Amino acid sequence: MSRQEIVNECTQGKWVPVLVIRANTTQLPLFPTVLLAYKFAKRNLPKSWQCGHVEIQPQYVKWDTITFTFPRKLKNANFDVEVIECEEDVEVHLC
């Protein structure tokens, strides 16, 4: 899929893919800025993965969260993708 097709599918279907970290629990990484999220993705995710950012309302978060204030490299992290379905329109921004 092209980048625009991904954005269109997410916004029309009112769903967003989000990165999670699998360990003993599933954690949703949070970042105070878009730049920090981008740097974290660049350090930790395979180059073949599309990255972007979304703002999620708290009622849609079903996992534990972990807030990063520095884009540190996570060794042996198990990254996965979960889908959040929303009732209202969503905005997806790809890097």
> What is the DSSP-derived secondary structure letter of residue 48?
T
Q: pTM for this structure?
A: 0.84
Q: Is the pLDDT of residue 78 over 90?
A: yes
Per the model's pLDDT, the better-predicted residue between 7 and 36 turns out to be 36
Percent of the chain with pLDDT over 70: 99
Amino acid (one-letter) located at 48: S
Q: How far apart are CA 70 and CA 32, in angstroms?
A: 10
Q: For the chain, give every domain's residue range.
A: 3-87
Beta strands in 23-77 (DSSP E): 26-30, 52-53, 64-67
**Which positions ≥6 away from 78 have C-beta within 8 Å?**
21, 22, 23
Question: Could you give the residue ranges of the DSSP H alpha helices within 14-90?
Answer: 34-44
